[in-house]
Structure 1
Amino acid sequence: MGPSDAVLARLMTLHPKVIDLSLGRVERLLAALGHPERALPPVIHVAGTNGKGSTVAFLRAALEAAGLRVHAYTSPHLVRFNERIRLSGKLISEEALAALLEEVEAANGEAPITYFEVTTAAAFLAFSRSPANVLLLEVGLGGRLDATNVIESPAVTVITPVDLDHQGYLGSSLAAIAAEKAGIMKPGVTAVVAPQKPEALAVISAHSDEIGAPLSLGEQSWQWTDTASGWRYGMTHVLPEPRLMGEHQKANAALAFAALDALETATGLTVDWAARTKAMTTVDWPARLQRLTTGALADRLPGDFSLWLDGGHNPHAAHALASTLATSSPGETHGTGPLDLVCGMLDTKDTLGFLKPLASLTRTFIAVPVASGQTGAGLPAHVLADLARQAGFKEVRTASSVTRALKDLAGRDGPARVLICGSLYLAGAALWENGTPPV
């Protein structure tokens, strides 16, 4: 445990709930810190159910390719908390993070505060003290009452596809969840919105009219289409396949480009098409259909196996994953052979909704335990295995760990593709065990 972990552990004792959506506590803390949230670079504020992190990754890659200095705040982390805070493109150091958290701890005193509120306040302090051209700010959970939603005048707001997730905190219907996401929209600030299901779009559009937030809507204000060698944004801008795999990643890149267009209108900051094109090859976002070619886990499989990692954990993510796995061309980049899944999930997720799109594609399903996360406990492997059988998987097994599961699969006939999936917490543990943490 490092110094920052020790401070976080102390602060987590100050509130009985890990998650308690409210703005009052963080507003009090930020006032005690001198309102760092009012001294930030132009903010692109990103909410949504799926694709937030990938959209931020495309934004960062394009902005940096244009020579701009970019701060970024994302969550959750996969291996180390430092991953959540990037200052001008580099992860915050352990020493700087620990000092910031101690400063926040002193300002907060013994008042109730949640983990995410503390860390958001620390991030705002860091961002306010380091110059940059843009801050990419990802919502933690929801939007309306998320601790990041203290920014009064962002340059642009962005809403990625909205779907059912975190219903225990955000509501049980798509309309209720969309209302929470739409809560980041601000009067007079353009909201760039990915294509949505009709129920979600109706809520977002109504809120736009109510508060006077102009909308830039996917498939209406901007579009993207496939080409023979890549994809096209609008009518004229042809780009290569993005480094992140899947049709949904082109959609995320298009959303990022629409946000960059809105940023230029709001601030004058320009990201030309040379920089946007370069971003397709430099973008990096770990645990999003990431191939692990070296490391302790990758080395456990025979040479004709390929090992993959994905942190998606809801039905929308599973459909995107299944589409990519079913249509990817075989070869050195994509791997070949049948698909084997090593899966662990939290008990708060729509497990059957996640599993069903993948069942027909899979040769062997191995359920593994996953450590509890902030929003739920890990499903026992035998429970997940029973649900996998209900979802239609033919060959279902359990293992006590990812390592044990890979040892089991290594005895199967190859070539084959092995995918570790179902939880960002499992993905983070796998990256740690493989010895390839994000940088």
Structure 2
Amino acid sequence: MSHSKKLQFILNKLYELNPDKIELKLDRVLRLANDLGNPHKKLNNVITVTGTNGKGGTAFYLKEILQSNGYSVALFQSPFLYNFLTRFLINGEPLDEEKFINYVIEVDKANNNQDITFFEYITCIAFKAFAEANCDFNIMETGLGGKYDSTNVDYQDLKTQVLTPISMDHKDFLGDTLKEITHNKCGIIKDNSNVIIAKQNSEVL
């Protein structure tokens, strides 16, 4: 499914957002989320998913399981295969193009030309879209690591963290050793919530 010319033009502009040097921290996404009214704090039953292998499939199958049991589910996933808007699934359907464009306008105004990365920007779009959808469950797949990933924010209703198998991954950003990478990805784990950990290499544990 090809993108419309209007959508492709907007995406091309968004792809140019990344600062010259990506510094992994949460300050930017939290600042933008706050300027948008903290929509992430309105999400119900948040499930965050990280790992190296199979996190996308795990997030997708979690969505399928929950939907098959009658729950409404929003899923933020990456990357996409054929349509950018499938990164934002609401009850199995990609975000409507016109709604996406309206969210871009709103997020762009709130950001006011301040430094932001592409992934932080679209994460805030997910927060806005999912808060409006008001689904029973919201599944957020990390983009890079865990501790400083833009999906790892101060949700009010964080229920579960899922860690798929961890291995060497994005060494330039997450660390040179498996121990460092594991520590970063485990940064999604929060107090007073459920943690599901897939079978791991002995070096990880």
Normalising to structure 2: TM-score of the pair?
Answer: 0.92
Among 99, 102, 109, the alignment partner of 2:105 is 102
What is aligned with 2:48? 45
Q: Deviations over 1:147-171 (max 9, x none)?
A: 0001445100010000012111111
Give matches, 1:1-80, under 5 Å. 2-17=5-20, 19-80=22-83
Find out whether 1:175 has 2:179 as its counterpart: yes
Find out whether 1:147 has 2:169 as its counterpart: no
Find out whether 1:191 has 2:182 as its counterpart: no
Asked if the contact 2:60/2:75 (under 8 Å) is kept, the reply is no
The structural deviation recorded for 1:12 is: 4.2
SS of the residue corresponding to residue 191 of structure 1 reads: strand
Find out whether 1:158 has 2:162 as its counterpart: yes
The structural deviation recorded for 1:100 is: 0.8
Task: Pick closer, same or farther for the CA change 1:173–1:3 going to 2, 3 Å.
Answer: same
Find out whether 1:135 has 2:138 as its counterpart: yes
Find out whether 1:200 has 2:184 as its counterpart: no
Instruction: Give the letter aligned to residue 124 of structure 1.
Output: F
- More relative contact order in 1 or in 2 (CA 8 Å, sep 6+)? 2
The structural deviation recorded for 1:19 is: 4.6
Instruction: Give the letter aligned to residue 150 of structure 1.
Output: V
Identical positions, percent: 38
SS of the residue corresponding to residue 155 of structure 1 reads: strand
- Largest Rg, 1 or 2: 1
The structural deviation recorded for 1:23 is: 0.6
Asked if the contact 2:17/2:118 (under 8 Å) is kept, the reply is no
Root-mean-square deviation over aligned CA pairs: 1.6
- Quick one: distance in 2 between partners of 1:157 and 1:9? 32
Asked if the contact 1:87/1:130 (under 8 Å) is kept, the reply is yes
Give matches, 1:410-425, under 5 Å. none
- Quick one: distance in 1 between partners of 2:84 and 2:200? 32
Task: Pick closer, same or farther for the CA change 1:65–1:15 going to 2, 3 Å.
Answer: closer
Find out whether 1:113 has 2:111 as its counterpart: no
The structural deviation recorded for 1:8 is: 3.6
The structural deviation recorded for 1:81 is: 1.1
- Quick one: distance in 1 between partners of 2:57 and 2:84? 18
Give matches, 1:321-340, under 5 Å. none
Asked if the contact 2:19/2:116 (under 8 Å) is kept, the reply is no
Instruction: Give the letter aligned to residue 27 of structure 2.
Output: G
The structural deviation recorded for 1:144 is: 0.3
Task: Pick closer, same or farther for the CA change 1:3–1:19 going to 2, 3 Å.
Answer: farther
Instruction: Give the letter aligned to residue 47 of structure 1.
Output: T
The structural deviation recorded for 1:15 is: 3.8
Listed as ranges, the gaps of 5+ residues in structure 1 are 202-439
Asked if the contact 1:48/1:159 (under 8 Å) is kept, the reply is yes
- Quick one: distance in 1 between partners of 2:30 and 2:188? 16
What is aligned with 1:425? none
The structural deviation recorded for 1:113 is: 0.8
The structural deviation recorded for 1:64 is: 1.0
